[in-house]
Structure 1
Amino acid sequence: MLPVEHDDPINAKILAISEDKIEGFVREPFEEIARRSGVDVDVVMARIAAMLRAGTIRRVRQTLLATNLADGALVAWKVPPDKIDNAFDWMFQRDPFSGHVVLRSTDAVTA
């Protein structure tokens, strides 16, 4: 079992880079964390996954740069049913890059 404590020496290296040193868009963020921390990328990914499962870290985010998409690009997000209303409200009210937001009723709910 992998260590999941934030003060484990390897986890601390990974977190120090991922929390404070990665800015803007990075095409391969896990590889960048590995490069800067000196930890192999497979170890970085395994440790982050273990810390997520243990609750040491809450989430890993991705940023979609709408300014790099083609004008009129259609982007679909798969959102859990219990979070759909909040996601819709946020994108409709606060996301400056969304021209319109729709909920598709044609997708079957899967388990």
Structure 2
Amino acid sequence: MMDKIKKIRNNLKKFTKPYDLAGSHRTSNMIDRLMQRMDRYLFNTQYFHGNIESAELGIRAWALINNFAPSNPMTVQKYQGLQSPAERLNGFRYHENWLQNLMISSSLKGYRSPPRNPL
């Protein structure tokens, strides 16, 4: 037991360095909540059961719905009426219906541009 305590004390500076940064988050609660929802989705779909294409489409669909589905009323009120994570990121919505908003946002309206910095 003493060895474990000594190891923690020796690494104390490494653990406390992030707390010196102004505005940094103290816990990983936000990412943990998101990852728990993703893990629940993956468990329910048997963790990429099938081929790689269906797995990729499934996780993309989960991410789109997670980003565009309306939040609970308290969260909407907290963010001055912005209903979803995508709206909070953009600062506006295209349409009142969240599904229409998803479809408009995820389409390029027939316009495709090459990547800015192709590799």
State TM-score, norm by structure 1. 0.27
Find the structure with the greater CA-based Rg: 2
Considering Cα pairs closer than 8 Å and 6+ residues apart, tell me whether 1 or 2 has the greater RCO. 1
State TM-score, norm by structure 2. 0.26
Q: By percentage of residues, which structure has more helix?
A: 2
